[in-house]
Amino acid sequence: MIDTGNTAWMISATALVLLMTLPALGLFYGGLVQAKNILSVLVQCFAVACVASLLWFVAGYSLAFSGNGPWIGDTGALLLRHISRAAVHPGLAIPESVFVMFQMTFAVITPALIVGAYVERIRFGAVLLISGLWLLLVYVPVAHWVWGGGWLAARGTIDFAGGIVVHVTAGVSALVVASLLGPRHEFPHGIRPPHAPWMVMVGASLLWVGWFGFNAGSALAAGGDAGMAMLVTHLSAASATVAWMAIEWIRFGKPSLVGAVTGTIAGLAAITPAAGVVGPLAAVILGAIAGGVCFTAVLLVKRVIQVDDALDVLGVHGVGGALGTLLLPFLAAVGAGGVVSPHGVAGQFTAQLIGVVSVALWSAAATFVITKLAAVTVGLRIDHDGETIGLDFAAHGETGYHVMR
């Protein structure tokens, strides 16, 4: 039986989640690169969104959400042949078409997050090949494990809106791709600063708004869970932003815009897995921790591991998502509005840890194979001249900014 209120909310939420990729993530990433690469980032996000959508239609949805096997779904919904206008998603009061579409927008943004690892030097063909294979070999099985009735769901791992499925998969894979691809040739000391910090802020703001669809939509109904998810999502974002600004102010003497909005995204990634089980006070605490931990993680990747994960996908998304996943058993009982796990704190933490570690290992291994495959087929890197000229012209034949009339 379809509930019109739930359906109306889920259609709205779906639109909000697509907004996170188009244009929000594009602007967030695009402002961080050099002016000569702005269009390449936008077209990468745009193209990944379309390729992921088509693959979701062909096989992704079926393998993630049709069937209850421990490892992978079945072929019952290939090409969405199972769908009809009257179909209701099992166990929910919304049309199957809306559930397919809502989940599609998650499948769209997750490979697009990895764009931040390889900007300014990758071949466009490699972007498409890696994203397509990655969707089917990493995102789809992990979505099944956690949300499609797979082995992590059976193990009791809680991932409300994608701390594991979206942010850990993308963050870990980003590090693997960046490492195999190699750094931009000026890395680490000659890298140019972000060309448009204001654009980063616009992108982050749209991500913030879209995240209400992402997290509150993950309640899959218009009710108290959705309302609380929205509230805690907002508070975590605000708290992480203030934390990141405070750290920069103390360490560098000045709080920056790029830092502030990076903190926002860290807070949003951290609350994502926990938005169904924590209350407002816990969200503020989680956000503050996320601001500090992600700030440190970003520095560690750049200075210690020295991998050119150019736009800090691991440090912000991967670490933020993992952090919220691991802390949620402890935070559920903090303040009002939480949902305490029946498995107890220790039992739930074990389930969370198994989820994060197994998904991180699978993401790393599968992404390694996918990237190697792309290296020997389409090739990973644009040539040195192309990188110097910029991907906008070298790979797409366009220029972002024509300053002379």
Partner 1 sequence: MKLIIAIIQPHRLDAVREALTGIGIQGMTVGEVRGYGRQRGHTEIYRGAEYTIAFLPKLRLEIAVPDSRADDVIDVITRSTRTGKIGDGKIFMLDLEQSLRVRTGETGDEAL
One of 209, 299, 340, 373 touching partner 1 (CB under 8 A): 299
Distance of alpha carbon 297 from alpha carbon 168, whole angstroms:
14
Query: 């998603």: which residue's tokens?
Result: 89
Tokens standing for residue 121: 């030097």
Binding segment toward partner 1, per CB under 8 A, in 40-48, 94-102, 104-112, 297-305:
297-305
Q: Name the minimum Å distance from CB 371 to partner 1.
A: 24
Q: Name the minimum Å distance from CB 254 to partner 1.
A: 8
Q: Does 241 bind partner 1 (CB under 8 A)?
A: no
Of the two residues 225 and 248, which places its CB atom closer to partner 1 in the complex? 248
Name, in order, each residue with C-beta under 8 angstroms of 312's C-beta and a sequence gap of 6 or more. 116, 262, 298, 301, 302
Of the two residues 14 and 262, which places its CB atom closer to partner 1 in the complex? 262
How far CA 58 is from CA of 51, 63, 72, 79, 199, in Å, comes to 11, 10, 15, 4, 34
Site string for partner 1, 201-240 (x = CB under 8 A): ----------------------------------------
Binding segment toward partner 1, per CB under 8 A, in 40-48, 248-256, 279-287, 336-344:
248-256
Closest CA to 113 of 196, 17, 195: 17
Q: Does 401 bind partner 1 (CB under 8 A)?
A: no
Q: Name the minimum Å distance from CB 175 to partner 1.
A: 16
Closest CA to 207 of 246, 165, 257, 264: 264
| Cis peptide bond N-terminal to 329, omega within 30 | no
Of the two residues 190 and 342, which places its CB atom closer to partner 1 in the complex? 190
One of 252, 369, 388, 401 touching partner 1 (CB under 8 A): 252
Of the two residues 18 and 294, which places its CB atom closer to partner 1 in the complex? 294
Q: Name the minimum Å distance from CB 214 to partner 1.
A: 23
| Identity of residue 45 | C
How far CA 158 is from CA of 98, 131, 332, 355, 372, in Å, comes to 23, 26, 12, 9, 32
Binding segment toward partner 1, per CB under 8 A, in 100-108, 211-219, 226-234, 298-306:
298-306
Site string for partner 1, 188-207 (x = CB under 8 A): xx-xxxx--x----------
Task: Give the N- to C-terminal CA distance of the chain in Å, as an integer.
Answer: 60
Of the two residues 89 and 121, which places its CB atom closer to partner 1 in the complex? 121
Tokens standing for residue 141: 């099985």
SS3 of 104-166 = HHHHHHHHHHCHHHHCCCECHHHHHHHHHHHHHHHHHHHHHHHHCCCHHHHHCCCCCCCHHHH
Distance of alpha carbon 361 from alpha carbon 280, whole angstroms:
32
One of 36, 89, 195, 302 touching partner 1 (CB under 8 A): 302
Size of the site for partner 1 (CB under 8 A): 21
Closest CA to 149 of 90, 225, 76, 71: 71
Distance of alpha carbon 13 from alpha carbon 221, whole angstroms:
10
* Measured torsion, CA atoms of residues 365, 312, 217, 282, in degrees rounded to the nearest 10: 110
Q: Which of residues 304-323 bind partner 1 (CB under 8 A)?
A: 312
Q: Within 13 A of 147's CA, how many CA atoms are on the CB side?
A: 27
One of 298, 323, 326, 380 touching partner 1 (CB under 8 A): 298
Site string for partner 1, 258-277 (x = CB under 8 A): xx--x---------------
Q: Name the minimum Å distance from CB 145 to partner 1.
A: 32
Q: Name the minimum Å distance from CB 241 to partner 1.
A: 14
Q: Are 14 and 98 in contact (CB under 8 A)?
A: yes
Site string for partner 1, 124-153 (x = CB under 8 A): ------------------------------
Of the two residues 321 and 329, which places its CB atom closer to partner 1 in the complex? 321
Q: Does 295 bind partner 1 (CB under 8 A)?
A: yes
Q: Name the minimum Å distance from CB 245 to partner 1.
A: 12
Q: Which residues contact partner 1 by CB under 8 A?
A: 32, 188-189, 191-194, 197, 248, 251-252, 254, 256, 258-259, 262, 295, 298-299, 302, 312
